[in-house]
Structure 1
Amino acid sequence: MRILRVVPVSALVAVLAAAVSGCGGGTSPGGGGSNDSPTTLTYWASNQGPNVEADKKVLGPELKKFERQTGIKVKLEVIPWPDLLNRILAATTSGQGPDVLNIGNTWSASLQATGALLPWDAKNFAAIGGRDRFAAPALAATGAAGKDPAAVPLYSLTYALYYNKRMFQEAGISKPPATWGELVAAGKKVSRDGRWGLGAEGGQLANNIHQAFVLGKQHGADFFDAAGKPAFTSDGAVAAVKQYVDFMAKDRIIAPGNAEYGQNQSLRDFANGRTAMVLWQAAATTFAADGMKPSDWGVVPVPVPSGRPGAGRQTNSMLAGINVAVFKNTHNLNGARKFVKFLTSDAEQRLLNKTYGSIPPVKAAQRDPAFDRQDTRVLRETLTRSAAPLPQIPDEAQFETSVGTAIKDLFADAAAGHPVTTASVRARLAAAAQQMAK
């Protein structure tokens, strides 16, 4: 998923569960999965490009293509990530939800638990060409284990380490870092004269979670136990969060101002030469929009302790991405399935993922040479070899809120010069666990 704002899962479940029986997709009242609007669909797309208007330019011609093929007109609305989840909640309470919508893949289990979304059982998968067309890692982030997925993978994303080639050269750094020790050493070499080694967005709760989750994996921690209960204060979880915040508090390679950064601010610093490295999902299109040429930057896998990414403790990315879902009570179920089939067709998967710099979750589309460039190859190999999904549990959204806020507060401590210790990290995470229990 892209970086976004989340709301507590209790609110999400309560509102959606209350509204699901009366939630109607499309533009007319009613529901029940009928086809009383067979020639129209409403589609809420997430903002994937540099801005909303860029997405409209990308998607507009494709929707016209779908209309020519099927006779079904699609009304498009592109919704920025900070607003999308709240828009979903408002739509369900009003009974005027879209037929088809994009969701961040980390929401899958939370939304699945409400019963608001169409389950992708064998029949529904058959209508779009079959489940086997999709890469297994992408399917792992579509809902709780043992249940029919709540959505279908659309764009797959992973994190990578982007670095400024000129800043590395000027600092005498001969190769990009493969371990965290090498990253800290490189960051210290460039952190001078108003420049900093690494960018972060301490004000973005989801980004905080993504980084802590990966470091948690490397420390042997999952943040939840086998029963799905919070394990935020385990030694591994505490060590992971402290390691991330220490890039500012101890290593001093992240600027104190990053403690308050919101969406994409670290990318602008990178593009403007104020920061030498940034950990991000597919970023090529954003760099280009900010004036960077491909030759200005390089990309390598996110570091791991051994320098060799893989599974388990060598995990180096959360499995990010966008899923496409259908409201169960759409007025045009047949049309909605046709539209999902269109979006996940080999041709559209190649086109859309090329445009956005993401990786197709459809296996056949990954064979396109565009996904074997240096930057896309790093993302594709991370997706298949060393990425793991965030916990697919109903409380995942609340996890992002509570622990993401704890990390935000720890960054604020670091920026203010207050000590960040193992004890202070454990205390923040203990408070987050108590918040989850309410």
Structure 2
Amino acid sequence: MRLTRIAVGTALASTLALTGTACGGGSSSTGASNSSPKTLTYWASNQGASLDIDKQVLTPELKKFEQQTGIKVNLEVVPWSDLLNRILAATASGQGPDVLNIGNTWSASLQATGALLPFDSATFAKIGGADRFMPATIASAGAAGQSPAAVPLYSMAYGLYYDKKLFQAAGIANPPTTWDELVADGKKLTTGSQYGLAIEGGNVSENVHNVFTLGQQHGTGFFDAAGKPQFDSPAAVAAVKQYVDFIAADKIAAPGDAEYAANQSVTDFATGKAAMLMWQAAGANLKSHGMNPDDFGVVPVPVPPGATGAMATSSMVAGINLAVFKNTKNLDGALNFVKFMTSTDESTLLNKAYGSIPPVKDAQSDPAFGTPELKTIAGVLANSAAPLPQVANESQFETLVGTAVKNLLAAAAAGQPITDDTVKAELTKAQQQMPAS
């Protein structure tokens, strides 16, 4: 599933030590030439179940682009475990592709290298305009006040999945809309080997995605307006403690969930070991585990009663962006390729193939995106999702805070008391490890 690959990629972001300011581009170290106006090199992220499946999805579309423009695209599908390091090497050496995929949470960090082409109004005009895209997806493409460093390609958001049969058996008529309701329902649904909620506590990126959402609801974005870390503020402590308490105090998630890092929480939900799950577009994954789509429902993740504005955030903006190296020797071809890949037809086709939400608004009218699950996820993306902090050190934030939450969940699973002071100490340690801006 794409989410796991996205999560792995963002977890690797601790290696992002923005040491090089040289722009990428030039000739590819893989041997493909970027210097011809009739060729492009494209690094695609691994979105499907395997690299070969991605090649099967993308190759016919690249052939279609070649037929329309005469430009041959040399494709390389890069595993998430390698992608960030490959991009960093390209920015430092000047040896890289013309066009590439990046995890959208990396946008500001990679923007700070100066290697990516800024999408100002004139550049956006060459690919059909910025207003074709959902605003939330553009907001996750670079730092505020700067031209985006990429454009959205595939989009996702979190929803709360619930098992209809388990809810009915527990006498719960409707899914929760507030956290108090979720905890109360979770306790009713926790019995024997069954738990109310499944979480992925060993997954650093899952942790930070969820506590970021809770942080927004508590009134913090983990950075102040100047981009200074505020990891151990009272609001941040409250957000992290609320998440850790699913194991520590509420006991609605299994202690073993603290070690989950590879979709085990999805498996537990699909097999009836947990009644609720907070996840990104999980339907295809659940189906692969034998869960019938009629057996689960999806609603937005709870928010505080009466919450408005940022405090009504129910998800981070998740997804994949498409970027161009600034010094590509085939800029016109690269922008034509971006225009092609983000056209309504291609956005529809590719997001269908990967089970994601098209960031191109016109593509969302296709019936394939009209399932109850995807309509809910699209609604969250449009109305209550916020991008992770678009600061140069965002990648380190994900790794350090996500690891702090992982440590706290492990302590809770071991029966250690989790207090405000416990949480603050772990978050203070994370903040002290942040590099200077």
Q: Note whether the superposition's TM-score is higher than 0.5.
A: yes
SS at 2:215 equivalent: helix
Percent identity between the two aligned chains: 60
Q: Is the 8 A contact 2:32 2:41 kept in 1?
A: no
- Structure 1, unmatched stretches of 5+, are none
Partner of 1:160: 159
Letter in 1 for 2:171: G
- Inter-partner Cα distance in structure 2 for 1:21 and 1:213: 31
| Deviation for aligned residue 1:209 | 0.9
- What corresponds to 1:296 in structure 2? 295
Could you tell which deviates more after superposition, 53-62 or 425-434?
53-62
For 1:316, the aligned partner's letter is S
Q: What amino acid sits opposite 1:114 in the alignment?
A: T
Structure 1 CA distance, aligned partners of 2:273 and 2:88? 38
Structure 1 residue 23, shift from structure 2 partner: 4.7
Q: What corresponds to 2:338 in structure 1?
A: 340
> Residues 134-153 of structure 1 correspond to what in structure 2 (within 5 A)?
134-153=133-152
Q: Is the 8 A contact 1:230 1:433 kept in 2?
A: yes
SS of 1:211's partner is: helix
Letter in 2 for 1:431: K
In 2, the alpha carbon distance for the partners of 1:79 and 1:66 equals 21
Shift of 1:79: 2.8
1:3 aligns with 2:7: yes
AA in 1 matched with 2:110: L
1:351 match: 349
SS at match of 1:86: helix
Relative to structure 1, the CA distance from residue 165 to residue 80 in structure 2 (aligned partners, 3 Å threshold; closer, same or farther) is: farther
The DSSP-based 3-state class of the residue aligned with 2:434 is: helix
Query: Contact between 1:299 and 1:374, CA under 8 Å: does it hold in 2?
Result: yes
- Residue in structure 2 matched with residue 172 of structure 1 by the alignment: 171
Deviation at 1:94, TM superposition (A): 5.3
1:55 to partner: Cα distance: 2.5
| Cα distance between partner residues in 2 of 1:377 and 1:11 | 35
- In structure 1, what is the Cα distance between the partners aligned to 2:200 and 2:189? 19
Q: What are the within-5 Å matches in structure 2 for residues 209-228 of structure 1?
A: 209-228=208-227
Question: What does residue 18 of structure 2 align with?
Answer: 13
TM-score by structure 1 length?
A: 0.92
> What amino acid does structure 1 have at the position aligned with 2:376?
V
Instruction: Name the counterpart of 1:329.
Output: 327
1:93: Cα distance to partner? 4.6
Uncovered stretches (5+) of structure 2, i.e. residues with no partner: none
Residue matched to 2:58: 59
Does the 8 Å CA contact 2:16/2:395 hold for their aligned counterparts?
Answer: no
- How far residue 262 of structure 1 moved from its aligned partner, in angstroms, is 1.3
The match for 1:318 among 305, 311, 316 is 316
Residue identity in the other structure for 1:247? F
TM-score (normalizing by structure 2)? 0.92
Query: For residues 90-101 of structure 1, what are the structure 2 equivalents within 5 Å?
Result: 90-93=89-92, 95-101=94-100
Matched to 1:3, the amino acid is A
1:425 aligned partner: 423
Q: What is the one-letter code of the residue matched to 1:171?
A: A
Q: Contact 2:247 / 2:413 at 8 angstroms: preserved in 1?
A: yes
Give the secondary structure class of the aligned counterpart of 1:163. Answer: strand
What secondary structure is seen at the aligned counterpart in 2 of 1:110?
A: helix
The residue identity in structure 1 corresponding to 2:17 is L
Q: 1:383 to 1:309 in 2, by over 3 A?
A: farther
- Within a 5 Å distance, the mapping from 1:16-415 to structure 2 comes to 16-17=20-21, 20-21=22-23, 23-24=25-26, 26=28, 36-93=35-92, 95-306=94-305, 311-415=309-413
SS at match of 1:409: helix
Inter-partner Cα distance in structure 1 for 2:409 and 2:357: 32
How far apart are the structure 2 equivalents of 1:256 and 1:389? Answer: 30
**Contact 1:6–1:400 (CA under 8 A) maintained in structure 2:** yes
- Computed over aligned residues only, the root mean square deviation of the Cα atoms, in angstroms, reads 2.2
**Mapped partners of 2:23, 2:312: distance in 1:** 44
Q: How many residues align?
A: 431
Q: How far 1:375 moved relative to its partner? A: 1.0
